[in-house]
Amino acid sequence: MSATVQPASAVPMVSILVVVYKKSIGDSKTLSRLLEFPETLKSRMELIIRDNSPESALDPKLIAQAGFFHSRIDHDGTNQALGAVYRSFASVAAAPILFFLDDDTEIDTDYISEATEALSSLPGPDRRSICIPRIHDKQGRLFSPSRYRIFSGELLPSIEPGEYSGLNAIMSGLALPRDYAAALGPEAFSTRSRLYSVDTMFMCAHAAARGSTIVCRSRIDHSLSRDLRRSIPEECFRSRQEAIGIFWTVVAYRKPWIPLLPLYLIYFGFRRSIRALKWALVK
């Protein structure tokens, strides 16, 4: 199923991907917010919705009539891997700036404008930078970005806007130039990982490309999957991210850290690593 509307114009300012699962437009914080954007902004935005639900609850007519530069709903009844969804979006998006969003992110116009301006003003064609918002969970704690370490992750109590390296982040809200996504290649969007480990793998690819991360002023509230599913200790959740991230950094990007892997497993301990692995493999 698809819904498409496109005016006779040049190129949209931004392309936005929203991944939806078993939600109507009203149930999705992201889609509800996007539909409330001013007409002048929506007319410059391409909206691509990937509905991973077995049966879609979305109203294609409402999306088509919302006033976006271009809109489309992709739904085939399968729950496609996030990495595959991201790859497809990066290959078909028409705008020079790409945004990745989950269906439960309270996005606002300030962040869209701030990230677009920051990425559009980067000098030269080799723009190896991404923009991310500061994301808080339901308890108001900063969850993304976090600090990426070799042996463990580090949740930050706060972070100031600016340009950084060595950060980890979740994909919802992430923005990057389309040409940088092409330079990273489809391998940056892992189809073998699940949930937030897909995000960690992208950040590994970004770090391997020596890219910089721009933390924007905007704060975004986001419902984390772990909050919606069951209570998992933060240390286990963080261990799972780092375990998969380190493994694929070694294997996929051939970093000279292989001698450190046994020390890594000893550091976390056998039991803790098994807990993290079980959580990583649960849908």
pLDDT at 71: 96
For 133, residues 6+ apart whose C-beta sits below 8 A from its C-beta are: 111, 115, 173, 215, 216, 218, 219, 220
pLDDT at 265: 58
**pLDDT tens track of the chain, all 283 residues?**
544 444 445 889 999 999 999 999 999 999 999 999 999 999 999 999 999 999 999 999 999 999 999 999 999 999 999 999 999 999 999 999 999 999 988 899 999 999 999 999 987 666 899 999 998 877 777 888 887 655 556 778 889 999 998 888 888 999 999 999 999 998 889 887 655 578 878 888 898 888 999 999 988 877 665 443 333 334 444 444 444 554 445 444 444 455 555 655 555 555 555 555 555 454 3
Backbone angles phi, psi at 177, to 5 degrees: -65, 145
Which residue do the tokens 């419902």 mark?
Answer: 223
What does the alpha-carbon distance between residue 183 and residue 173 come to, in Å, rounded to a whole number?
20
Sign, Cα dihedral of 192, 198, 201, 206: positive
Which among 249, 274, 272, 271 has a CA at the least distance from the CA of 260?
A: 249
Instruction: For each of the domains in the chain, give its residue range(s) and CATH number, in order of start.
Output: 14-229 (3.90.550.10)
pLDDT at 19: 96
* β-bridge pairing 162-164 and 129-136: unpaired
For 218, residues 6+ apart whose C-beta sits below 8 A from its C-beta are: 108, 110, 111, 114, 115, 133, 134
Count of alpha carbons within 13 Å of 280, Cβ hemisphere only?
Answer: 22
pLDDT at 10: 81
pLDDT at 139: 74
pLDDT at 14: 97
Q: Where are the alpha helices (DSSP H) in 94-195?
A: 109-120, 178-184
What does the alpha-carbon distance between residue 77 and residue 70 come to, in Å, rounded to a whole number?
23
Run of H or E including 132: strand 129-136
- Per-residue tokens: 126: 């080799």
Structural contact between residues 212 and 163, judged by C-beta atoms closer than 8 angstroms: yes
